[in-house]
Amino acid sequence: MYNQKDRKSDVEAGPRPLYPMMQEPPAIRWAFIRKVYSILSLQLLATIAVSAIVVFVHPIAHFFVSTAAGLALYIVILITPFITLCPLYLCHQRHPWNYLLLGVFTVSIAFSVGLSCAFTKGKVILEAAILTAVVVISLTLYTFWAAKRGQDFNFLGPFLFAALLVLIVFALIQVFFPLGRLSVMIYGGLAAIIFSAYIVYDTDNLIKRYTYDEYIWAAVSLYLDVINLFMALLTLFRAADG
């Protein structure tokens, strides 16, 4: 039987390995994971705060849709994350530039999310937010459980990359040749499935592959997964709601 002496030995041995054949000390990996999720939590809180301001302060959304300057600024906000992503990758280990670029990246995405939510029913936003939270928490817990039992999800990488390319082409076709509400729902459903799989893939990388100095890039990867999942579900529910 598992007695008091065994429990004392486990405590003295320190944290248990996250997955079989783990090479580094578990305490270091757990510290890295806590740091990544702390940064991710701050990003999500900032996104919620900025989005809420855009949604509830109506003149902001009105400015973006009713003036030429607002439209130009909206285009700048949309492309800012893509412009920031490259230097962020190059400087993700250089303090304080990594945090500065991360802040610009997060706020620009938060504005985009807020503008999307500003013209969406509150019921649809709430449904998408609740389902996103449930999916993210469930898949994260599952990935930690599966990694502990020796499962590896690295094989998903090429398939997810190919699926993402198909999704981008599908979105471009929808922009230039609108196919109707049903196609929007199909796009939203496919995107939700793809980014749900990305949560598993990136969480598995967080557990096993990222080095301690790559905490910024690990947080960015998970943040993009969560935001894209939310936007996919928002698109799906908004189309279904008519």
Using pLDDT thresholds of 50, 70 and 90, give the confidence band for residue 10.
Answer: very low
pLDDT, residue 91, reads 84
pLDDT, residue 51, reads 93
Between CA 107 and CA 118, with CA 113 as vertex, the angle to 5 degrees is 120
Q: Which residue has the tokens 């905490």?
A: 215
- Output the CA torsion sign for 211, 216, 217, 220: positive
Residue 96, preceding peptide bond in cis (omega within 30° of 0): yes
Question: 148: exposed, middle or buried (C-beta count within 10 Å: 0-12, 13-18, 19+)?
Answer: middle
pLDDT, residue 14, reads 58
pLDDT, residue 17, reads 81
Q: How high does pLDDT run on average in the chain?
A: 88
Query: Is pLDDT larger for residue 190 or for residue 73?
Result: 190
Contacts 24+ apart (CB under 8 A), 22-26: none
Distance between alpha carbon 190 and the CA centroid of its chain, in Å?
A: 16
> Among 4-13, 38-47, 70-79, where is mean pLDDT lowest?
4-13
Using pLDDT thresholds of 50, 70 and 90, give the confidence band for residue 9.
Answer: very low
Using pLDDT thresholds of 50, 70 and 90, give the confidence band for residue 86.
Answer: confident
The Cα 163–Cα 232 span in angstroms is: 14
The Cα 139–Cα 16 span in angstroms is: 21
One-letter identity of residue 92: H
Quick one: angle between helices 215-241 and 122-148, nearest 10?
140
pLDDT, residue 218, reads 95
Query: Is pLDDT larger for residue 201 or for residue 27?
Result: 201
Q: What is the tens place of the pLDDT at every residue in 87-135?
A: 988 888 888 888 999 999 999 999 999 998 988 888 999 999 999 999 9
Residue ranges per domain, the chain? 24-241
Q: 145 CB contacts (<8 Å, ≥6 apart)?
A: none
pLDDT, residue 200, reads 97
